[in-house]
Amino acid sequence: MKKNQVRDFSYRLKDIAKDLSFLGHPRYPLKDLYMLFPQHKTFIDCLEDVSVPFPVNTSEKLKAMDLFMRDLSHADIPYQLKKIFTERIRDYHHLINMMENFDNHTFYEHSKKLYGSSGKYAKNNAFPYFLDKIPEYCLEDKSEVHLKGEDALNYMRHKLEETFDPTEFEVKPSSSLLSDASAGRRTIKLNPHKTYSTGHLDIFVVHEGWVHLGTSLNGAAQEDNPWLSTWAPRTTFLQEGLAIIVEIITGCMTLERWSKVNLRHIATSMAEKGSSITEVYRFLKHNNMEELDAFKLSLRVFRGVPFEGGAAFTKELLYLHGMIELLYHLHFYKTDLKSLWVGKISFEEHIMLMDHWSFLDPKVKYFPKALEHPVVLERLQKLKELSFSLFRHGFL
């Protein structure tokens, strides 16, 4: 195996993936949104219309993928790594199909191929029982301090500087987020107009910061394996599952937060079964979600699909599905959390890395010290045992 070939194919894969993260910047039929949700006109004004084209030359991307696959077939690298690169290219094909079929049912069909569907997992009778046990791990948010705007941004900066070099990341305000916070390769974005408790901000620190930002920075530091810095939809399953687990074991998960995580799953399932965006919105409000938050979550569920129902953007399912699958994975393979911080990886890719760890030698530049605390490790062990006892033959 030639390491220089791994690097060369990694950079080519990175170039192919460029501009395909369009799912984080969706477009909507704004005329319909203004008609359905006139009360949210101010936020709708921040969104882009479906008529705005995505800045991607899909024909050139497809040519690059074909050439990549042709050259990969002759490369002197292990079969397992060839398979991983091939699967990522398959992901990118799905993304291009989704881009070309934005706002119709075909988008949903490809979403299911990438992220699964609610019906597939609902058949497992242990799933709802597992979810009912999680509140036992949730703590009350006793924060007395509430922050907004620059104060909230600074709180997050200081917290993240305890783990990361401040020159390697930034925390920025963003008013158009469909969530309260989000993470990019080197950036954390936070809604500057909302007031947060320090407990709420701590959730963002561990979820968006420790997990999403941390794995991005570690991936970017992989000189011999730069493919670990490259995003693909299949990595989302592990990423979101890991982020929810870390919230729970560090004591950041509250009953309110857990309720919202569950509502994401229920809302997606409702949309798949035929509920319209207005029906999902009313359901979320009925379950004590603030109006604007209910609207944003409805938009997350319906990005790329028709508003009348029968389809959804199923990535929202991965918070719960990824959590259970990862707990089972950690228990079955007897591995630790730190090995998951090497970059953006899927479950299959993590297994390959464990098999070739000494040769590939992936580095972990940043890893939150709090995750090595005995109490945190004890909580993780209990969750792993719960998952394995319920899903002894696998979650799927």
pLDDT tens profile 100-118: 998 899 999 999 999 999 8
**CA distance linking residue 56 with residue 65, whole number of Å:** 14
Question: What pLDDT shows up at residue 22?
Answer: 75
Q: What stretches in the chain show pLDDT beneath 50?
A: none
Query: 370 is written with which tokens?
Result: 């709090």
Q: What is the pLDDT of residue 121?
A: 66
Question: Which pLDDT score is estimated for 122?
Answer: 64
pLDDT attached to residue 54? 87
- SS3 at position 188: strand
Residues linked to residue 196 through DSSP beta bridges, in sequence order: 147
Residue 391 has a pLDDT of 83
User: Burial, 82: exposed, middle or buried (Cβ in 10 Å; 0-12, 13-18, 19+)?
Assistant: middle
Cα 380–chain centre separation: 20
> Exposed, middle or buried: residue 150 (CB in 10 Å: 0-12, 13-18, 19+)?
exposed
What confidence score (pLDDT) does residue 393 get?
Answer: 67
pLDDT at residue number 4: 82
Question: So what's the pLDDT on residue 300?
Answer: 95
Collapse the DSSP code of 332 into the 3-class scheme (helix H, G, I; strand E, B; otherwise coil) and give the result.
helix
| Spatial CA neighbour of 301 closest among 322, 325, 283 | 283
pTM exceeding 0.85: yes
Closest CA to 269 of 127, 103, 92: 127
User: For position 255, what pLDDT does the model report?
Assistant: 94
CA 230/CA 232 separation, integer angstroms: 7
Name the DSSP class of 375: H
Q: What is the pLDDT of residues 132-148, one digit of tens each?
A: 999 999 988 888 999 99
